[in-house]
Copies of this chain bind each other. A is one copy, B any other.
Amino acid sequence: MTMSSLFTPRPIGFARTPFKETAHVPKGLGTKHEANGTLEILPEFEAGLKDIEGFSHLFVLWMFDRSEGFELLGAPPGEEIAHGVFATRSPFRPNPIALTVVELLKREGTLLHVHGVDMLDGTPILDIKPYLSSIPAESLRRGWLDEAEKRRAAKS
In the complex, chain B residues whose CB is within 8 Å of the CB of A146 = 54
Near B by CB (< 8 A), chain A positions 3-40 give 3-12
Which residues on B sit within 8 Å (CB–CB) of A56?
Answer: 135, 139-142
Q: How many copies does the complex hold?
A: 2
What residues of chain B lie closer than 8 Å to A82, measured between beta carbons? 50
Chain B residues near A95: list those with CB within 8 A.
7, 9-10, 12, 61, 126-127
- Which of chain B's residues have a CB closer than 8 A to the CB of A122? none
When distances are taken between beta carbons in the complex, the residues of chain B under 8 Å from A141 are 54-57
Judge if A85 is at the interface, Cβ distance under 8 Å: yes
Who on chain B is nearest to A132 by CB? B142
- How many whole Å from A48's CB to the nearest CB in chain B? 4
Beyond A49-B86, A54-B146, list 5 extra A-B contacts (CB 8 Å): A6-B11, A54-B142, A57-B141, A61-B61, A94-B127
Query: Which positions in A face B, CB cutoff 8 Å?
Result: 1, 3-12, 41, 45, 47-57, 59, 61, 63, 65, 72-73, 82-89, 93-97, 99, 101, 124, 126-137, 139-147
